[in-house]
Amino acid sequence: MRSLRNTFLVPALLLALASGCAKTKAYQDRNMDFGAIKTVVVMPFWNLSANQQAADRVRDVFANALLATQAVYVVPTGEVARAASRLGLATPATPSTEEVVKIAAMLKADAVITGVVKEYGEVRTSAAASNVVSVSLQMQEAGTGKVIWSGSSTKGGVTWGARLLGTGGGEPMNSVTEQAVDDLLQQLFQ
């Protein structure tokens, strides 16, 4: 009986502990040579937040941060808009696999990044308020449209300290966005 308890209880506790510690879940295709990716298209992000400009803001910060790494070249947003218009993409934020392949070929890119902004703005508890951003991204390979990387990040929110002391404000929205973008880039380049 005692050995049976140890057999099930200890792994269950360890699993619970590990899942509690894990903040983000990223997927990376181990067979993909990420060093071969030189040019990337960042598509408009899908906006699920209440703020109408959230997707554009996060995309702007992400594209610039990706360029700033000097690891890849990001196609300018105007060029992406023109290509999406020429291809007649009804929903550029959620392209199909064929559309990803086509737009990558048109822009001579090696990969296409699509994303979803799930939360963007202020969250409130009874006594405290703070800014929060939640973003999920995925990268698709240009030739096949296969997903080769996927990651998500949530930053900001009301901390325990703020909850206890009832403070408001937190960090500015742009700082929180940059933190989330940094987290995503870390997942991408790890």
Partner 1 sequence: MTSSSSSSSSARAIALVGALALAGCSAARPPPERAAPPRMALFPVQNLTGGRAPVKELTAALRAQLLTYGVVLVPDELVMRTLAAHRIRFTGGVDRETAAALREEAGAEGVIIPSLEIYQAVPPFRMAMTTRLVNIGAEPAIQWIDSFARSGVDSPGLLAMVVLQSMETLRDESLLNTAVRLAAALQDPRPSRPCPQWSEVPPNRVYRSPLLSDPSRRTVAVLPFLNGSGRRDAGEVMALRFLAPLVANGTVKVVEPGVVRDELLTHRIGAAGGISLDDARVVLELVRADLVLSGTVRRFEDAAGLSGAPSLEFGSWVLDRRTAQLVWSSTTSGAGDDGVYFFGLGRVTTASALACGMAKGAVSRMLEDRPLLTRN
State the residues that interact with partner 1 by CB under 8 A.
Answer: 53, 56-57, 60-61, 63-65, 67-68, 70, 73-74, 76-79, 81-82, 172, 174-175, 178
CB 6 to partner 1: min, Å = 51
**Triad 100, 102, 103: Cα angle to 5°:** 70
Q: Output 81 or 127, the one with its CB closest to partner 1.
A: 81
Q: Phi, psi (5° rounding) for residue 131?
A: -90, 145
DSSP 44: P
Q: Output 42 or 150, the one with its CB closest to partner 1.
A: 42
Q: Output 7 or 69, the one with its CB closest to partner 1.
A: 69
Backbone angle region of 123, left / alpha / beta, with phi > 0 → left and psi within -120 to 50 → alpha:
beta
Q: Output 60 or 122, the one with its CB closest to partner 1.
A: 60
Q: Output 32 or 71, the one with its CB closest to partner 1.
A: 71
CB 110 to partner 1: min, Å = 15
**DSSP strand pairing (73-74 vs 39-42):** parallel
CB 180 to partner 1: min, Å = 13
Cα dihedral 172→156→91→149 (10° resolution): 130
CB 102 to partner 1: min, Å = 17
Residue where the block lists tokens 């295709």: 29
CB 98 to partner 1: min, Å = 23
Burial 68-77 (b: 16+ CB within 10 A, else e): eeeebebbeb
**Using alpha carbons only, how large is the chain's radius of gyration in Å?**
20
